[in-house]
Chains A and B, each alone.
Chain A
């Protein structure tokens, strides 16, 4: 079946360090979405990438969609304590919205 693999599972960083999470799909995607879930909260949509090779930025967050539209990454520059949480990628497979396992980010101040 369709799968979205995401690594790493956990990342502990010192405040100010960079962070990256990677997402790979078993099949080509029409688009990929990223969500953030704060501890104790629910996932919240961050962004959607549609085009091959697309790069989008939101302040310190940079999102990339691979040329083959099968992989994506989220990079956070100079992490802050407000960045803690779990970051998920998600892909649409027909009518299904399938999520990766998520990357838990912890930031040490």
Chain B
């Protein structure tokens, strides 16, 4: 398996609190992605990064922000968690934007109560 680690693996938080999820890779891949997975919606792209300090929005970015201060770490922050953000979050990495496979982390199950 590719060296990609998500933390925490599980988290329960209260509505209105900030939450940060971490994705750490040891592959030196340029691209990193954050997805959320919900029944019936598959994997929806939240934000992605194409280099250090280079990030952009995906299709469901409202309520989320990201940061990438170094190649190996991509942080996803929920500024003020809402119940609609209860989901399983996956981080993925890939070497390039096309033509290479993406490797996924184990996922973080986030519950907002």
Contacts and interface: CB of A to CB of B under 8 A. Distances in A.
Contacts of B94: 97
Interface string A16-49: 0000000000000011010100000011110010
Given A6-B42, A92-B97, A95-B31, 18 more contacts: A33-B101, A33-B102, A35-B102, A42-B105, A43-B92, A45-B103, A48-B99, A88-B42, A95-B97, A96-B48, A96-B56, A97-B31, A97-B48, A97-B94, A98-B59, A99-B35, A100-B42, A101-B42
Most A-side CB within 10 Å, residue of B31, B42, B45, B103: B42
Interface of A: 1, 6, 9, 30-31, 33, 35, 42-45, 48, 50, 86, 88, 90, 92, 94-102
A97 B102 contact: yes
Interface string B69-104: 000000000000000000000101010011101111
A102 B99 contact: no
A99 B31 CA distance: 16
Question: Could you tell me the dominant secondary structure of chain B's interface residues?
Answer: strand
Contacts, number: 65
Interface of B: 31, 33, 35, 40-45, 48, 50, 56, 58-59, 90, 92, 94, 97-99, 101-107
B73 to A, nearest CB: 19
Contacts of A45: 101-103
A92 B98 contact: yes
A88 B43 contact: yes
A42 B104 contact: yes
A95 B50 contact: yes
Given A42-B105, A97-B48, A97-B92, A31 B42 contact: no
A101 B99 CA distance: 21
